[in-house]
Amino acid sequence: MAISIDNVGRIFFINQAELVAIRDINLQIEDAEIVSIVGLSGCGKSTLLKIISGLDHPTSGVVSIDGREITKPSHKDVGIIFQESRLFPWSTVERNIEFGLSNGVSRAERKQSVQEHIKLVGLTGFEKALPSQLSGGMKQRVSLARTLINRPKALLLDEPFGALDAFTKISMQKEVLRIWEKEKTTMILVTHDIDEAIYLGDRVVVMTAKPGKIKTIVPVQLPRPRDRTSVDFAILRKEVYEEFFESDEIPTDYSI
């Protein structure tokens, strides 16, 4: 699924004052491409993602998918995963995943699809578990399965692993890549983690502060699986950071 973002802007009005969140966003995303979007807090990354998903509407410009303008949410076209898992605490893993299915699917098809997606995200054996019995990473796996069960043509990820510990985050990044290699779903990732952006993305889109605009796009021409400790990875990391900071101000923790 190809996504076209043409001259998109979004203005909010707060206490009758105009706040320009994003301005003149132009970006073409190819079918099965993974694009990472990074920028300082408040630059409009999540606003842009909501517009692409149809959960919000641009003040100006157009977002289209395969040539069709996005005017409302469509689970079959676009799925979105947030930082919080947003599971129903009273429902089991399989029931939470089944909730993502569209109407009009037979009972037998629903059961089969749920089981396929439980296996896809590596949760076999946890079908009857409640969210309170799962780790943070497992909850995000449930969210991933619930979003993918309608086989959306594009998957939007809004800082999906930001609340996870470092080791679980790396595991989930590998899981997303494994699923991408199988499904070839177009993905857009919003993140504050530069290493994550480079590890997952085919391109890293760097946005400016308010109002959010695209400052530069850094291609990631590294083979997968990517080695975070390699010299080439470090060069790309430095290139992205230099878009935010002067060279002598670059932090060492590689998160913004």
Q: At what angle do helices 166-183 and 136-148 cross, to 10 degrees?
A: 20
Within a domain: 73: yes
199-256 pLDDT tens trace: 999 999 999 987 899 999 999 999 998 999 999 999 999 999 988 765 444 455 555 4
Q: Would you call 149 helix, strand, or coil by DSSP? A: coil
Domain count, the chain: 1
Within a domain: 6: no
Within a domain: 254: no
Within a domain: 237: yes
Cα 240 to Cα 74: distance, rounded to the nearest angstrom: 33
The residue segments making up the domain with residue 133 are: 33-58+66-249
73-128 pLDDT tens trace: 876 789 998 888 889 999 999 999 998 787 777 888 889 999 999 988 889 999 99
pTM for the full model? 0.88
Within a domain: 15: no
Within a domain: 37: yes
* Element (DSSP H or E) covering residue 141: helix 136-148
Distances (CA, A) of 88 to 100, 131, 137, 151: 12, 8, 16, 21
CA angle 181, 206, 215 (to 5 degrees): 140
Complete DSSP assignment for 80-139: EE-SS----TTS-HHHHHHTTSPSS--HHHHHHHHHHHHHHTT-TT-TT--GGGS-HHHH
- Based on the number of CB atoms within 10 Å of its own CB, is 18 exposed (0-12), middle (13-18) or buried (19 or more)? exposed
177: domain CATH number is 3.40.50.300
Within a domain: 190: yes
Which pLDDT belongs to residue 249? 46
DSSP secondary-structure letter at 159? S
Answer whether residue 40 shows pLDDT above 90: no
Nearest to 256 by CA among 132, 162, 118, 189: 162
Within a domain: 216: yes
Q: What percent of the chain has pLDDT over 90?
A: 57
- Kindly compute the dihedral angle of the four CA atoms of residues 40, 41, 46, 47, in this order, to the nearest 10 degrees: -100
